[in-house]
Structure 1
């Protein structure tokens, strides 16, 4: 009687084939999940940056008051060397966004590409577009009004 303890070559090859198929499926799922996570994370970063920009503009819009030197309660958004700055009238020195993104600010349908004065006594119709280096973007429209 022969000793049949052990495995045959066919069993080894079958096990390797099954293991290869399962490994390929698991690898595909992991890569897909990682890519999806990276895409969603980038979109969330863009959204967060746009919301921070809008919150900063809203803060200036609501806090700027009429004074003797500023009877229209104006503040400024300035576009200089590819960056946006915001500040009090004649003093736009606070950077409006992170350097990791490209930003476009559109006021009343016109791209802001120079210094503009914004009266905080009037509603402000604004669109902000934030882009990353991968070509993804986030766009938001809003109207800011002082109450």
Structure 2
């Protein structure tokens, strides 16, 4: 036989199989990175919202001889609103007031605040803080 140059069908199939495996691996790494990025962004957004809620409640708490602070949740699902009195301080998450159970904070005493924020497809974010004044 003469020495023929070229590639055989088996060689071509082997190259295609190896290329396919490499492409699948690269795609899975990119997809995993993208999902991690979205989870991190959602967590940061919930943390920023939690910081804002605490700051609003804290500012009201620190007012000199202010009335009791009433926190309440209105709505259902993603349409929930967290209200302080009649003022909406947060919306778009699921909220759960853990402490104080009544949702009423007395600014004349040290008070614990524990609140849970959650969004679809993400872990809940729990706020735990103590509100106090120098007396």
TM-score in terms of structure 2 length: 0.80
Once residues 139 and 103 of structure 1 are traced to their aligned partners in structure 2, the CA distance between those partners, rounded to angstroms, is 10
TM-score in terms of structure 1 length: 0.74
Asked which structure has the greater RCO (Cα within 8 Å, sep 6+), the reply is 1
More helix by percentage: 2
- Aligned partner of 1:22 in structure 2 is 22
Structure 1: tracts of 5 or more residues without a match? 67-72, 87-91
Query: C-alpha offsets along residues 61-97 of structure 1, whole Å, 9 cap, x if unaligned?
Result: 11x223xxxxxx22422426333322xxxxx222121
- Aligned partner of 2:131 in structure 1 is 144
**Contact 1:53 1:97 (C-alpha < 8 Å) held by counterparts:** yes
**Contact 1:129 1:139 (C-alpha < 8 Å) held by counterparts:** yes
Q: Deviating runs (4+, > 4 A) in structure 1?
A: none
Structure 2: tracts of 5 or more residues without a match? 76-80
- Aligned partner of 1:69 in structure 2 is none
Q: Give the aligned length.
A: 129
- Aligned partner of 1:97 in structure 2 is 90
- Over 3 Å counting, the alpha-carbon distance change for 1:17 and 1:6 in structure 2 is same
SS at match of 1:136: coil
RMSD of aligned Cα (Å): 2.2
Once residues 107 and 46 of structure 1 are traced to their aligned partners in structure 2, the CA distance between those partners, rounded to angstroms, is 19
